Amino acid sequence: MYGGGNTFEHIKSNGLENEDPEKLVEFEARIQRGEKIEPNDWMPQLYRKQLIRMIEQHAHSEIVGALPEGTWITRAPGFKRKLALMAKVQDEVGHAQLLYSAAETLGKSREQMIDDLINGKSKYSNIFNYPAFTWADSCFISWLVDAGAIVNQLANARGSYGPYCRALERICAEESFHLKYGHHCVIHMATGTEKQREMMQAAINRWWPPMMHFFGPSDKISVHSEILMRWKVKMGSNDDMRNQFLDMYVPKIQELGFTIPDKNLKKNEETGRWDYTEPDWEEFKRVINGDGPCNKERLAVRRTAEERGRWVRKALLTPKTEYVAPLA
Amino acid sequence: MESLDPRVNRLNLSTAELTSKAPLDQLGTYEVFSQLREGKPYFHVGPVHAPNKEMAFLFAKEQFSRRQTCTGLFVVETRKIMVSPFTEGEDTVYNYIEDNVEGDGSEVKTYELFHLKKRGKQHEHIGTIECTHLEEGLSMVKPEFINDKPVFNIWIIETSDIEFSQEEDKIIWNTLPDKKFREALAYKAADKIKEFKERQL
């Protein structure tokens, strides 16, 4: 689930003046023809750099995303929910493995990526810096955060980098149960007691602002690079993805009798797009830069896992094997 | 730091400033091939990192055969895979393989042959070659593939370098079909929504 590559930093210089113009033409023609780029193909530095950043952020999001949901495994209501949630969280961690592998084919080692996560250099999906107070929060994440991630992932699966697309295909296949499971959990809450409905509504109210942030800054303030679109690194603008999510899920939330905490949210019949209160981008920036309710805890949990598991990895190390980048 | 999760609180996390982790302690890289159904070819599915073949096999089983059907796995260290150059369009790799290369009289070894038949897809296991050296082996199979659809890349692996799943390993995939809670079909709820809507009227 989870990622989407929407926490890109701005491109200051594209550095294309240093690239071989003939190879660049060939590279762009290949993408135009709808062919995938593979690890052994020539690619511009900017393409490599942006893909590493995007796939790595996606992988970190899977790892960190497993934390707010994982916390509810021990307290899941009933055996069936516990089994399903455990399987889901295990899937997410597996997705991180697939994504790290895809990024490794571009030349950044897995250890370096994990290091950059725990030293705070790499970003991950901002939404996981918020806490899951009740079981209903975990239901919101399983259904709607996954739904948002699937919107992004289906778009990215049509991108140009072969190993990333293949990882996403595998991931999307596994996700189909996550979304249905999440919806099932929310429906159960919606059709339950008054207390359960209140819990679910409170979770929706809490998570709506980070959910709107999830797709990244508005196109008005985040100029999406034309070149990354042309190279099929980024497959849709942040606002397009947000709009697609609202189209698919606002009706499903409302049919369960829940409200969405934004009085300006409505479909604009003229433009065919959703109007909404502009999300608080200052908060988004503040949280993504480290000052959110759970940033410290998330990274501390990761770092502690790394430190306390080190003796196991040390015991396993053997001089007979050697780290190399995966082939494809 | 006070967490909502009691388990996290019990960890006594250090709240020190962010620091880098200890220097690289990377495990080796292995490539994994899986077979979805009996009689179907094995396909490359991706890599795992592990200290040895046996651990690589365990990780591969978890990573690549936990959710999909599986009837067999191959695991091999990445650096043991010999990779041909890549070709494009209608150009098959076999155009670059020499004809009629003789054996060199040394011991006959067995190799597993893999083809990449479509750009963007993954390598497929084609079969086993017995030869004294690789050039001889490729030259032996060239007539079989030179007039076929183009092959864009070849991987060759010495059979003894591969960890194969054994007949008795298949038991690990026996429970896959029982785990219905991992399938979307287990979460039908249309009736519940309908009933809920009717109650609201």
Q: Is the CB of B25 less than 8 angstroms away from the CB of A299?
A: no
| Percentage with pLDDT > 70 across chain A | 95
In one letter, which amino acid is B26? Q
Most confidently modeled range among A115-119, A162-166, A225-229: A162-166
How far is A295 from chain B, CA to nearest CA, in Å?
11
pLDDT attached to residue A4? 45
Is the pLDDT at B90 greater than 50? The verdict is: yes
**Number of C-beta neighbours around residue B85 at 10 A:** 10
Q: Does B79 touch chain A (CB under 8 A)?
A: yes
How do residues B31-60 score in pLDDT, each as one tens digit?
999 999 999 999 999 999 999 999 999 999
Alpha helices in chain B (DSSP H): 6-10, 53-64, 134-145, 190-200
ipTM exceeds 0.90, yes or no: yes
- Provide mean pLDDT across the span B157-163: 97
Is the pLDDT at B166 greater than 50? The verdict is: yes
pLDDT attached to residue A184? 98
Is the pLDDT at B95 greater than 70? The verdict is: yes
How do residues B119-150 score in pLDDT, each as one tens digit?
999 999 999 999 999 999 999 999 999 999 99
Q: Does A115 touch chain B (CB under 8 A)?
A: yes
pLDDT attached to residue A1? 45
pLDDT attached to residue B25? 73
Where residue A220 falls among pLDDT bands split at 50, 70, 90?
confident
- Provide mean pLDDT across the span A6-19: 65
pLDDT attached to residue A206? 98
Of A112, A165, A190, the CB nearest to B196: A190
How do residues A99-113 score in pLDDT, each as one tens digit?
999 999 999 999 999
Is the pLDDT at A5 greater than 50? The verdict is: no
Considering only residues A31 and A322, tell me which one the structure prediction assigns the higher pLDDT: A31
Q: Across-strand partners of B28?
A: B50
Is the pLDDT at A224 greater than 70? The verdict is: no
Q: Are A66 and B164 in contact (CB under 8 A)?
A: no
Q: Does A104 touch chain B (CB under 8 A)?
A: yes
Count A/B contacts: CB-CB distance under 8 Å.
169
Q: Are A292 and A126 in contact (CB under 8 A)?
A: yes
pLDDT attached to residue B201? 78
Q: Does A311 touch chain B (CB under 8 A)?
A: no
Q: Are A3 and A152 in contact (CB under 8 A)?
A: yes
Q: Is the CB of B184 less than 8 angstroms away from the CB of A177?
A: yes
- Provide mean pLDDT across the span A22-36: 95
How do residues A66-95 score in pLDDT, each as one tens digit?
999 999 999 999 999 999 999 999 999 999
How far is B88 from chain A, CA to nearest CA, in Å?
11
- Provide mean pLDDT across the span A291-306: 92
Long-range contact set of residues B130-133: C-beta below 8 Å, sequence gap at least 24: B131/B103, B132/B103, B132/B104, B132/B105, B132/B106, B132/B107, B132/B108, B133/B103, B133/B104, B133/B106
- Provide mean pLDDT across the span B89-100: 95
Enumerate the residues of chain B whose CB falls inside 8 A of the CB of residue A307.
21
Where residue A9 falls among pLDDT bands split at 50, 70, 90?
low
Enumerate the residues of chain B whose CB falls inside 8 A of the CB of residue A181.
187
pLDDT attached to residue B112? 98
Of B25, B67, B77, the CB nearest to A174: B67
Report the b/e string of A280-302 with b at 16+ CB within 10 A. Answer: eeeebeebbeeebebbbbbbbbb
Enumerate the residues of chain B whose CB falls inside 8 A of the CB of residue A40.
86
Q: Does A252 touch chain B (CB under 8 A)?
A: no
pLDDT attached to residue A13? 62
Q: How confident is the prediction for chain A on average, in pLDDT?
A: 92
Whole-angstrom Cα distance, residue A280 to residue B178? 46
Cβ-Cβ contacts under 8 Å for B175 (sequence gap 6 or more)? none
**CB-side neighbour CA atoms (13 Å) of B33:** 27
| Percentage with pLDDT > 90 across chain B | 82
pLDDT attached to residue A11? 56
Is the pLDDT at A118 greater than 60? The verdict is: yes
Which of B187, B192, B193, B200 to mutate to test binding with chain A, by most A CBs within 10 Å of its CB? B187
How do residues A180-208 score in pLDDT, each as one tens digit?
999 999 999 999 999 999 999 999 999 99
pLDDT attached to residue A223? 64
